[in-house]
Amino acid sequence: MNELKIDSNLLANEMKNTFENIVGIHFEQDIVLDDTELIELMQIALNSMFGEEKKQQYYNIDTKEALFTFLYLTYEKNFQSYTKNDNALILLSTICVALFLSKSSAQSTQLITTLLKNLPGMSTYSSDIEPYLTSDDLRGLLFWSITTLSSLDYDLVNTMNISYEYTPPKITPEWLNTYRKEEDPMEFWFYNSSIGNGLFLILYTPKCRYAKCSGCNLPSLSSQSKTTSPSAVYKQVDTVLQNSLSHKEKESIKEMILSNNGNLFDIKTMPTLSLLYTINALIEELPSLEKIIIESRIEYLNEHQLKTINEVLSAHEDRNIKIEIALGFEIFDDEIRNGYYQKGFYKSALEKLMPLFSKYDVSLKFYMMYKAVPNMSTQEAIDDMNNVSKYAHELINTYDVNINIHISPTYVAVGTLLEKEFNDGNYTPPGPKEVDMLCQQLEIFDNVSYYISLNDEGLSSTHIEEEYTLFLDLKSRVGYFNSYQKWRTEEFQ
Ligand code: SF4
């Protein structure tokens, strides 16, 4: 291969030209930091990602262009001694600056893609970066860039205090077929739980064998093989716990949602050995972990499984880890849930298992979809959520089992019956206004806990554009509610 030799000055000019063309700024500043200041700056920068307020608080730089210039020059100058060559220097600086400055992942992706396309010598990195860019996995990209492009000591990377809002990577069946490595899980991301930082981990295993629910297309993302070996799952768990999280992140995780986009208690898709190994590894590797939430349909659950999980927990008695089982309840109304929605979830089956949940001190999470079917008015959808709230309250009183209600505004998943209804004009997913109405009318019981899920995926993009201010306001109110289980005093009182 013919490698193009470029000297630092030429590279610096190329870099400047690229960014001057994109953001229309000139590079004139000359800032040098020592190593400690560099690390501090990186931590502040990474922690401030997506937070305009903090950026200004630290640097008092009030225009995006000025901040961009400041950081780009700072990174470029100070990464010099930590990178192996000029191309690595430019790429690392670009990635850090693009991630820090952009609120939108699309903008970061655009900046990085422009650099990859336009600067000679970058093609060697393109194939490594493509999986991150195509799935909007900017955290993954950051980790890749620090570990691959810099010569920073690995422990230093692990001790960096990276923590920022993180949404699920956008993956598709095609993405998984093209990029997923054998040892990778399907995906993972962080979320805020009522007890602190949470990690959502989806393991790659055979698909849900039920596969009938009318709003769900998750089985298309899972493995299409019929079986999996325990060791295939062990590798995925080890990859996440050993290579993909920093020490700080591991220390911060209080809660885990464990999923395979299907049923973790179905031994055909998740061997019991794999489940026990996963639970044990999570407890051993995450020192602050308090709760593990396991997703499954109810018919795969039996006493034997609860008993064996309890044996693993007893081996870590001093940690007092709680297990929660997350069930797709979706809609309270029996007729709609098991008729149109084809959920196949019966309250009688749940009530039969309640004494067992009580015996093994297992709590429950009910996944609910808000306005999940066509021909349901907003008021009917709110009443449906209030009915499940009352039902949970009564179950807790009878069986002394803790219950969390996890409400997601419905979104239209590609390839589902609901998508057909949407395309035919028979269905509109709930937007910020409808979610706002739910927040105002949701009947809250002291003994029930609640989580309202509000990510972009849960609301149609057209609604967000139309009602963006309301959406941002809702995000802040719902974030407070999820953490404190009450609305801020000025709201809904
Ligand atoms: S919602 Fe759950 S049970 Fe229903 S098809 Fe999807 S993965 Fe299977």
What tokens were used for 477? 């109110």
Residues carrying CATH 3.20.20.70, the chain: 173-484
Q: Which residue has 């807790």 as its token pair?
A: 396
| Ligand 1 near 262 CB (within 6 A) | yes
Q: What is the DSSP secondary structure assignment for residue 244, as one 8-state letter?
A: I
Q: Yes or no: say if 152 and 143 are a contact pair by the CB < 8 Å rule.
A: no
Q: Which residues, at least 6 apart from 75, have a Cβ–Cβ distance to it below 8 Å?
A: 92, 93, 96, 97
Strands 362-370 and 187-193: unpaired
- The number of angstroms, rounded, from the C-alpha of 241 to the middle of its chain's C-alpha atoms is 16
Of the candidates 78, 81, 76, 72, which has an alpha carbon nearest to the alpha carbon of residue 102? 72
Question: What is the per-residue pLDDT for 117?
Answer: 80
Q: How do beta strands 449-452 and 322-330 pair?
A: unpaired
- Residues 166, 191: Cα–Cα separation, whole Å: 7
Paired tokens of 230 = 């325990």
- Distance of alpha carbon 77 from its chain centroid, rounded? 33
Which residue from 207, 210, 268 has its CB within 8 A of the most atoms of ligand 1, so it is best to mutate? Answer: 210
- Does the C-beta of 210 come closer than 6 Å to ligand 1? yes
Q: Which residue has the higher pLDDT, 443 or 411?
A: 443
Task: Tell how far the Cα of 263 is from the centroid of ligand 1, in angstroms.
Answer: 8
450, 444 contact by CB (below 8 A) = yes
pTM of the model: 0.81
> Which residue, among 260, 223, 348, 336, has the nearest Cα to 298 in the 3D structure?
348
Residue-averaged pLDDT of the chain: 81
For ligand 1, the distance from its centroid to the CA atom of residue 266, given in whole angstroms, is: 12
- Directed axis angle between helix 52-59 and helix 35-47, to 10°? 150
Helix (H, G, I), strand (E, B) or coil at 222: coil
pLDDT computed for residue 78 by the predictor: 65
Residue 330, pLDDT score: 96
Rounded to the nearest angstrom, the distance between the alpha carbon of 159 and the centre of ligand 1 is: 39
DSSP alpha helices (H): ranges in 253-333?
Answer: 272-285, 303-314
208 lines ligand 1 (CB under 6 A): yes
Mutate to test the pocket of ligand 1, among 209, 216, 269 (most ligand atoms within 8 A of CB): 216
Mean pLDDT of 341-352: 96
Residue 218 CB less than 6 A away from ligand 1: yes
The angle, 0 to 180 degrees and rounded to 10, between the axes of the packed helices 123-134 and 138-149 is 150
Q: Whose structure tokens read 């999470």?
A: 365
Total residues belonging to the chain: 493
Of 401 and 477, the structure prediction assigns the larger pLDDT to 401
For the chain, the 3-state helix, strand and coil shares in percent, each to the nearest 5, are: 55, 10, 35
Average pLDDT (113-133) is: 85
- Residue 30 clears pLDDT 50, i.e. is over it: no
Binning pLDDT at 50, 70 and 90, where does residue 455 land? low
Res. 340: pLDDT tops 80: yes
131 CB near ligand 1 (under 6 Å): no
d(CA 405, CA 151): 46
Question: What CATH fold (topology level) applies to the domain 173-484?
Answer: TIM Barrel (3.20.20)
Is residue 49 scored above 50 in pLDDT?
no
Beta strand 403-409 with 362-370 is parallel
